[in-house]
Structure 1
Amino acid sequence: MKNGKTITIEDVMTKSVISVDASMTINETAKMMEDAKVGAVIIMENNVPIGIVTDKDFAVKVAAHAYEISSPIKQIMSSPLLSINSDESVRNAADLMFERRVRKLPVLNDDKVVGIITATDIVNLLAVSVEEDIRDMYFHSVAKIYTNYSPYN
């Protein structure tokens, strides 16, 4: 395995990603996610990724706003699509997820969806990392989180 600082997103991302056309309904998309046992789908328009819908979107947006399940999925997607490139480090992905408060990050190369990295993927990486890498990732995260609370900043 690579050093914890050099592990790329491509090394840990899920390569099979479900995408749906923006015109699909909320109900059709939910059924597709359930059948595929995934927590997110990429929303496409004219073969271009334009947004993402997660299981949280169904729980919060559909229920809170009482959207009809026959409404287009585009209505509840998060957009613009926040993404990352597969050759970037896992640390960069973790930083972006932390800053933007997201748990699922599509991976795009040349505007093509090639995978998805999730907070779970990053936690699973910790499970197979050597102690030095775990310590480094932990202190990097803790230092970042507590920077906002430091009286010395």
Structure 2
Amino acid sequence: MENAKTITIADVMTKSVISADASMTINETAKMMEDAKVGAVIIMENNTPIGIVTDRDFAVKAAAHAYEISSPIKRIMSSPLLSINSDESVRNAADLMHERGVRKLPVLSDDKVVGMITATDIVNLLAVCVEEDMRNMYFHSVAKIFTNYSPYN
């Protein structure tokens, strides 16, 4: 394996990304996510990515505010879309996730969605790293991502 400091997002991202049109409803989008077995979809308007909806948005935003399932998906999406370029390092992705408190980042290239990197992708990367790389990544990146989610803080 190459040095963990130089592994790019393109090396570990999920390339298959589901998108939904901004005109879809909360219910239609939830069904799409269930059928595709994904935890996030990119919301598109005029072939441009404008936001993201995660499974957590359904629980926190839709349920907490008792939005009708026929409401537009735009009502619960996170926008503006926070993203990262595919040629950036995994360390940069982990830092951005930590700073913004997110666990999923759309990956863009020339303003087109080309993938998604998640906290899980970064953890999976640890499983195939040599011990030195794993230690380096853990202390620099992964610990930052999960700090906010630890029950011990």
In our comparison, the structure showing a higher alpha carbon Rg is: 1
Question: Partners in 2 of 1:143 and 1:118 — Cα distance?
Answer: 14
Question: Partners in 2 of 1:120 and 1:143 — Cα distance?
Answer: 13
Aligned-residue offset at 1:135: 1.1
TM-score normalised by length of structure 2: 0.91
Whether the 8 Å CA contact 2:33–2:39 is kept in 1: the answer is yes
Within a 5 Å distance, the mapping from 1:1-153 to structure 2 comes to: 1-141=1-141
| Cross-structure match for 2:150 | none
- Over the aligned positions, Cα root-mean-square deviation in angstroms equals 1.4
Q: Secondary structure of the equivalent of 2:85? A: coil
Question: Partners in 1 of 2:57 and 2:49 — Cα distance?
Answer: 17
Q: 1:68 to 1:142 in 2, by over 3 A?
A: closer
Question: Partners in 1 of 2:136 and 2:33 — Cα distance?
Answer: 35
Question: Partners in 2 of 1:39 and 1:120 — Cα distance?
Answer: 12
Aligned-residue offset at 1:32: 0.4
Q: Secondary structure of the equivalent of 1:70? A: coil
| Cross-structure match for 1:150 | none
Aligned partner of 1:3: which letter?
N
Aligned partner of 1:115: which letter?
G
Q: Secondary structure of the equivalent of 2:81? A: coil
Deviations 1:93-131 (A, max 9, x none): 000000000000000011100000000000000011000
- Structure 1 unaligned blocks of 5 or more: 146-153
Whether the 8 Å CA contact 2:52–2:78 is kept in 1: the answer is yes
TM-score normalised by length of structure 1: 0.91
- Structure 2 unaligned blocks of 5 or more: 146-153
Kindly tell me the number of residue pairs found equivalent between the two proteins: 145
| Cross-structure match for 1:149 | none
Whether the 8 Å CA contact 2:52–2:79 is kept in 1: the answer is yes
Q: Kindly, what percent of the aligned residue pairs are identical?
A: 90
